[in-house]
Amino acid sequence: MKAPDRPSPAPDQSALEDAVAQMAARIAEASSGAEVERTLLGLVHGLVQPRACFVLRSAPDRGLLQVTTVRGRNDPRIAAVRPGEGPAGRAFARGSVEREGGVVAASLGDRGGTGALVLLDSKLTVSDSLARALSAHLAAASEVGRLADIAARRTKDLETAVLGLKSLERTRDELLGGVSHDLKNPLSTIKMNLALLGRSDLGELTERQKRALATCERNADRLLRMINDLLLISHLKDGEMELSDRPFGLKAMAEEAMQALAPMTARAKVKLAFAPASEVFVRGDRAHLREAISHLLESAVQQSAEGDQVEVRTGVADSSLAFLSVKDQGPDVGEEELRHLFDTYRPHPLEPPRRAGGLSLPIAAKIVHLHGGRVEGLSRPGEGLTLTFYLPMFAGAVGQAGGEPIPRGGGILLVEDDADCREVLQQLLELEGYRVISTTGAAQARAILSQVRPALVLLDLKLSEEDGMSVLHFIRGSPALAEVAVYIISGSRDVASLSSGTGLERIDGFFEKPLHLPKVLDTIGAVVRPTRREPPTI
């Protein structure tokens, strides 16, 4: 008589608890669905010791449950099945635990879940509750792994997108820099030729020609402002602007900005008035803050009618803040429009604003914000608009330089590869009595500098064959030339950042294209003593 089969022992309680704890830990550490499924199936195999165990996953497009992961020996029962067929197919379809011979199958999830766990000829007894617990862990691991896979793919997609955006930003910056230089070269030539005409250096003009010339000058200046504003707002938007941090007088800077706008106010027949005030000092990038003030003043002048007055004030708002205000007599501004006054791109309003749009006010506000300040607008009925910006005060002493520099004797070396710009600038300088040698490239400039020592070098940075910085390094690295004054001329908006250079990159100043002729001549006159002798020798 055959002896009855002995029942298989159940898994040891401590082994079961340890396996469950490890499965939970592996789920929490899951980095991918396939990896965590293999790990957990290995733990199941070690716990119940089957001949083999495997996972079937639903493939609806093929109408099958397909084998995805296997642990143990090879066995013909490890095969794909259709839902509802065999113990694995029934477990999947019913969301249950099914048995047949030595096969135990448990659904991964409820009815119609993701698949089934199948154990073949386990040495240890697998109860229904244990089978459900093991399959539940596998189902949870599958979901966590699936989410980890999605997160990894999306992270990779985001990294690729970020790299693409950075590449686009670099391309945009290079394009903007090139466009700035390429546009400002011909514009500089136009403005200097207009200056020659206006000074009657090319012959006397009729009144009608003078009016036409004034119109051309006005629109050339307008085009320049548009180019500068588009480039500047791009830099401000990305927070890429390099700002120096030096103390200066706010009142003196405002007076300079007002003086620079004198031609514009004269044409508009608007008076700029500065209320009496003592000097107040702030700290920051003087050039960019002056640009912010200029934008506020330009906006006020544009909104004023003939005979109106724009009033400028500076002072102390409290013990820690300095202020500058610009008040015009233009149209009043309502509360809704005041809220959007400094927006770069304002949504189309139901009613047109009484103030003309543009980038002047957003640019001014952004520059002030970058210096830790704020800008406010105030409008009362019949009183126009008052724009005020506040900046942290600088309480330290501001040292003044010594006496005025004495102009040196000697000539000027002009390094400029744009033929038209070079020709007209050389002509202007020679008409002022300076001796000028001009050249187009860095190699030629170094050859000239090896033979002569000019009083001043006017150097374009973007030369066609070689960067102009190589010429600057040559000058600063040569003991005989190290103290020669070097002024950069460039169409780039970033040229101001070079003013803080030291060592081989030290410069004495810069002129941004299009060149402002009075400023250029005044600055050169303070460095070089003109002579009436003719070129070509320095």
Cα 478 to Cα 460: distance, rounded to the nearest angstrom: 20
Q: Which helix (H) or strand (E) holds 101?
A: none
- pLDDT of amino acid 104: 94
pLDDT bracket for residue 216 (50, 70, 90): confident
Residue 403 pLDDT exceeds 70: no
Q: HEC profile for 341-404?
A: CCCCCCCCCCCCCCCCCCCHHHHHHHHHHHCCCEEEEECCCCCCCEEEEEEEECCCCCCCCCCC
CATH class in words for 412-527: alpha beta
Question: In whole angstroms, what is the distance from residue 115 CA to residue 91 CA?
Answer: 9
* Equal CATH topology for 240-392 and 412-527: no
Q: Which residue has the tokens 């001549």?
A: 521
- What's the one-letter identity of residue 381? P
Chain length of the chain: 538
Task: Place 390 in a pLDDT band, splitting at 50, 70 and 90.
Answer: very high
Q: Which residue has the higher pLDDT, 249 or 17?
A: 249
Got the DSSP string for 139-155? HHHHHHHHHHHHHHHHH
pLDDT band at 513 (very low <50, low <70, confident <90, very high): confident
The candidate with the shortest Cα–Cα distance to 426, out of 507, 526, 515, is 515
Q: Alpha-carbon distance 486 to 454, whole Å?
A: 10
CB 518 within 8 A of CB 215: no
Q: What is the mean pLDDT of the chain?
A: 81
Residue 375 in tokens: 């800008």
Q: How many CB atoms lie within 10 A of CB 157?
A: 10
pLDDT of residue 511: 80
pTM: 0.45
CATH superfamily of 13-152: GAF domain (3.30.450.40)
Q: Taken in order 39, 44, 50, 52, is the CA torsion positive or negative? A: negative
Rounded to a whole number of angstroms, the distance between the first and last alpha carbons of the chain is: 127
Crossing angle of helices 207-237 and 360-370, in 10° steps, is: 40
pLDDT in tens, 6-63: 556 766 667 766 777 777 676 656 556 677 788 888 888 988 899 999 999 888 888 8
Pairing of strands 321-327, 309-316: antiparallel
User: Using CA atoms, how far apart are residues 165 and 430, in angstroms rounded to an integer?
Assistant: 49
Percentage above 90 pLDDT, the chain: 20
Residue-wise pLDDT for 327-353, tens only, equals 998 888 888 788 778 876 554 444 445
Q: How many CB atoms are located within 10 Å of the residue 442 CB?
A: 23
The partner residues of 69 in beta bridges, in order of sequence, read 55
Using a pLDDT cut of 70, give the percent of the chain over it: 81
Amino acid identity at 216: C
Lowest mean pLDDT of 119-123, 181-185, 454-458, name the range: 181-185
Report whether 225 contacts 262 (CB < 8 A): no
Hey, what amino acid is at 488?
I
Question: What CATH topology corresponds to 240-392?
Answer: Heat Shock Protein 90 (3.30.565)
CA angle 493/198/488 to nearest 5° reads 25
pLDDT in tens, 266-321: 888 899 999 888 888 888 888 888 888 988 998 888 888 888 999 999 988 877 88
- Residue 115 — left, alpha, or beta (φ > 0 → left; ψ -120 to 50 → alpha)? left
Cβ–Cβ under 8 Å, residues 434 and 412: yes
Closest by CA position to 395, among listed 281, 523, 509: 281
Cis upstream peptide for 518 (omega within 30°): no
pLDDT, mean of residues 195-220: 83
User: What is the residue extent of each domain of the chain?
Assistant: 13-152, 176-236, 240-392, 412-527
